[in-house]
Amino acid sequence: MDSMYVHIPFCNRICTYCDFNKVLIKNQPVDDYITALITELKSYGEQTLKTIYVGGGTPTALTVTQLDRLLSFITAQFTVTDEFTFEANPDELTTEKLDVLNNYGVNRVSLGVQTFNNDLLKVLGRTHNFDDIFKSINHLEKIGLTNYSLDLMYNLPGETFDDIDMSLKYVSELKPKHISWYSLIIEPHTVFYNKINQGKMSIAGSLEEGEKYDKVIAGLDNLGYPQYEISNFAVSAYESMHNKTYWLNEPYIGAGAGSHGYTGDFRYYNIKPVNHYINNMNEHGTVVKEKLQLTDNDKFEEEMFLGLRLNKGVSEARFKEKYGLPVDAVYGDVLKNLTARKLLKRQGGYIALTEAGRMIGNDVFVEFLL
């Protein structure tokens, strides 16, 4: 394994659009969770990894003491050679917490900015405001942690094209190394979902969403952030190594409540609810809820779905090396068909979505189901 994801499922407030595995931190058994998480991490043994990504929830919702305890364990057992990322909310990234991250070698921060518009931040139910974003970036720059990514969203309720221009303007001023910019997805069991169903809220339709996406891609490209994945953009040499593990369909450890991991032959899924996760670890010494053995066809499909998210696409040579047969032996007709429809292109040994293909990515991916 080269990579590990660690999940911290606690947040100080629940955002109105969120369907991640998270709970309000108040009154939660956070220390017991960290104990169970450490027990799970121990089960993977000492390892040297290229990347570790601590995400959530909100990892920075932990106290300084809890962060110190978790990171001291992680860094004692795992050596990270390349990229050690921590997700953070702007209002929670205090100098004390940042010092802890810095002391343990965290070298990349993914900052949950979402938007620079205070009104939209309120609609999203975020705990931070415009000023917090700049304060946290100041803190990062003061300690020399300049490899940070901004997490942004578009197609928010009430958002205008000017809001996207405003975000682009601040990106050009702040000069982060990496941007993730996702379209808002309305997920079931969220406040947004209920409001939309009750007719109390609406978001722009797919035509306007597409125009906003085009604006994001072109705007970031102009600023020196070429798109390298459907929703990710980076200056040269700062693409997310950890996330590329997923898109290149490489094995990784997933630790923590609701995490999933991939061994190359099977995918495993951890128990989601925090209390069940803790109890299972204490009583049964395991937190895995389900293990799925992958068939060859599963592996081929995942290789294509995930790899086609990258602008570079799927390497034909890598496919052959991994699976012992050329991609045409599995997908010859599909590739011919999608290439003829100008939804896919084959260039320099890679199969990639065209611009038209990227606009209807999910429809293209379905064609690869076996």
Q: Which residues bind ligand SF4 (CB under 6 A)?
A: 11, 14-15, 18, 20, 22, 56-58, 89
Q: Give 57 or 357: the residue with its C-beta nearer to ligand SF4.
A: 57
Per the document, the length of the chain is 370
Q: Give 20 or 365: the residue with its C-beta nearer to ligand SF4.
A: 20
Q: How far is the CB of 92 from ligand SF4 (least distance, A)?
A: 9
Q: Give 89 or 117: the residue with its C-beta nearer to ligand SF4.
A: 89
Identify the residue whose tokens are 């570079």. Answer: 312
CB 74 within 8 A of CB 37: no
Compute the distance between CA of residue 34 and CA of residue 32 in angstroms, rounded to an integer. 5
Compute the distance between CA of residue 234 and CA of residue 227 in angstroms, rounded to an integer. 7
Q: How far is the CB of 205 from ligand SF4 (least distance, A)?
A: 24
End-to-end CA distance of the chain: 27
Q: Give 14 or 359: the residue with its C-beta nearer to ligand SF4.
A: 14
Q: How far is the CB of 288 from ligand SF4 (least distance, A)?
A: 22
Compute the distance between CA of residue 317 and CA of residue 150 in angstroms, rounded to an integer. 33
Compute the distance between CA of residue 112 and CA of residue 14 in angstroms, rounded to an integer. 14
How many Cα atoms are found within 13 Å in the side-chain-facing hemisphere of 93? 30
Q: How far is the CB of 180 from ligand SF4 (least distance, A)?
A: 13
Q: How far is the CB of 363 from ligand SF4 (least distance, A)?
A: 28
Q: Give 14 or 223: the residue with its C-beta nearer to ligand SF4.
A: 14
- Under DSSP, the state recorded for 157 is T
